[in-house]
Amino acid sequence: MRFVDEAKVFVHAGKGGDGAIAFLREKFRPFGGPAGGDGGRGGSVIFEVDEGLSTLLDFKYQPRVIAKDGEPGRGKQQYGHSADDIVVRVPSGTIVFDDATGETLADLVMPGSTAVIAQGGEGGRGNMHFTSSTRRSPRIATPGTQGEQRWIRMELRLVAEAGLVGLPNAGKSTLLTALSAARPKIAPYPFTTLAPNIGRVFITEEDGFTLADIPGLIEGAHLGHGLGIRFLRHITRTRLIIYVLDVAENPEAAFATVRGEIAAFDPVLAERPALIALNKTDLVTKANAGKIARKLRKRTGLEVFPISADQREGLDPLIAAIAGVLRQMDQAAACPS
């Protein structure tokens, strides 16, 4: 399935039904009086998170969501039927914006959570509500109100506990494959990964964490260079950032470039908890890898883990460190000082 993380959709809630003007005329009730019923409520457009979805692809082919109108009121004080709401399934991590104003309408993360994106119109009141001591036969009813309608812009931001970031061909996809059951495309050239991938890393059969592979960032990504501008926003959903650096390709400069792009996109992200996975250590001697790791740790202030994703070497300490940081963050959130 093609990964799509942006969509523009027109949503139109239903109009409320008009109130009725009617009078009760029965054989034994010649002066039954006004009996116009209320109109039904128009259908609303509601978004609901479905954890089985992972893309906004469907909205590319169905860019309009239109709910039905409520029925008008009827005689004998009968209310019109309200229209059914339209419930639209969206993937976890969907943010909905009003396209005209930029206002955030909903940020949908938790499975099953819902948000009303377009409110259905209220039904009008029938003339049975307008009787008084001086107005016995009112010929007054109110129309139903219009349902909300707007163009919305949808963004999907992957929800993962940890995210892999780095320059193209640093080995992020290989590392995701080594740690999880995810199978992203891997090849020995830049920009192999054209869409984020996500996998589950299991520590035990019941315990683990989600890990996302963010497509390679290059210098100027926050300005639209390369692929990064499309995928930098996915990092905002991750709690822990893992910088994947190629040990043989000036890892200090690579770290400065990637972190600089993240900071330019959102300065808060650059201060998020982070670790460094110094990858491809099978291409250098063990002593040289250790020397580079110590230097990198001193320069960045972050924990550095020499690994070879391709050879599946050094992965256990990295997994334990990721799990440990996430556990500390959970404990801090549960017991704020």
CATH number of the domain bearing residue 251: 3.40.50.300
For residue 322, is it within any domain? yes
Quick one: pLDDT at residue 183?
57
For residue 1, is it within any domain? no
Tally of domains in the chain: 2
Kindly give the pairing relationship between strand 94-98 and strand 104-108: antiparallel
Q: Which of 122, 156, 190 is the last residue of a domain?
A: 156
Q: Which of 161, 114, 117 is nearest to 330 (CA)?
A: 161
Residue 195 and residue 284 share a domain:
yes
Task: Provide the pLDDT confidence category of residue 51 given band limits of 50, 70 and 90.
Answer: confident
207 within 8 A of 322, measured Cβ to Cβ: no
For Cα atoms 203, 206, 210, give the angle at the middle one, nearest 5 degrees. Answer: 60
Residue 252 and residue 200 share a domain:
yes
Domain that holds residue 104: 6-156
For residue 230, is it within any domain? yes
Task: Provide the pLDDT confidence category of residue 145 given band limits of 50, 70 and 90.
Answer: very high
pLDDT digits (tens, 9 = 90+) for 195-218: 567 788 888 777 788 888 887 565
Residue 288 and residue 330 share a domain:
yes
Residue type, 231: F
Whether 235 shows a pLDDT value over 90: the answer reads no
Would you state the structure tokens that stand for residue 15, as one six-digit string?
């109009």
Torsion (CA) 221, 224, 230, 233 in degrees, nearest 10: 60
Q: Which of 132, 156, 180 is the last residue of a domain?
A: 156
Residue 19 and residue 58 share a domain:
yes
Q: Which of 66, 71, 67 is nearest to 123 (CA)?
A: 71
Mean of pLDDT over the chain? 85
Q: What is the mean pLDDT of residues 146-152?
A: 96
Whether 67 shows a pLDDT value over 70: the answer reads yes
Q: Which of 156, 178, 200 is the last residue of a domain?
A: 156
Residue 171 and residue 124 share a domain:
no
Say how many residues make up the chain. 337
Whether 186 shows a pLDDT value over 70: the answer reads no
Report the C-alpha gap between 146 and 223 in whole angstroms: 41
Higher per-residue pLDDT: 100 or 186? 100
Residue 128 and residue 211 share a domain:
no
pLDDT above 70: percentage of residues in the chain: 87
Residue 131 and residue 64 share a domain:
yes
Residue 128 and residue 197 share a domain:
no
Q: What's the N-to-C CA distance of the chain in angstroms?
A: 45
Eight-state DSSP code of residue 110: S
Report the C-alpha gap between 244 and 170 in whole angstroms: 6
Spell out the SS3 assignment of 140-184.
CCCCCCCCCEEEEEEEECCCCCEEEECCCCCCHHHHHHHHCCCCC
Report the C-alpha gap between 193 and 48 in whole angstroms: 29
Residue 209 and residue 128 share a domain:
no
What secondary structure does DSSP assign to 33-57, as a single string? EE-PPPPPPPPPEEEEE-TT----H
- Of 63-72, 103-112, 240-249, the one with minimum mean pLDDT is 103-112
Report the C-alpha gap between 247 and 253 in whole angstroms: 11
The residue behind tokens 């009813």 is 141
Q: Which of 122, 113, 114, 154 is nearest to 4 (CA)?
A: 154
Q: What is the CATH number of the domain that holds 14?
A: 2.70.210.12
pLDDT above 90: percentage of residues in the chain: 50
How many angstroms from the chain centroid is the CA of residue 7?
12
What secondary structure does DSSP assign to 92-110, as a single string? TTEEEEETTT--EEEEE-S
Residue 221 and residue 111 share a domain:
no
Report the C-alpha gap between 255 and 243 in whole angstroms: 7
Quick one: pLDDT at residue 170?
87
Quick one: pLDDT at residue 148?
96
Residue 214 and residue 99 share a domain:
no
For residue 227, is it within any domain? yes
H or E element, residue 318: helix 315-334
Residue 49 and residue 108 share a domain:
yes
For residue 127, is it within any domain? yes
pLDDT digits (tens, 9 = 90+) for 270-326: 899 999 999 999 999 999 999 999 999 999 999 999 999 999 999 999 999 999 999
For residue 34, is it within any domain? yes
Q: Count other C-beta atoms under 10 Å from residue 70's C-beta.
A: 30
H or E element, residue 269: helix 267-270
For residue 321, is it within any domain? yes
For residue 194, is it within any domain? yes
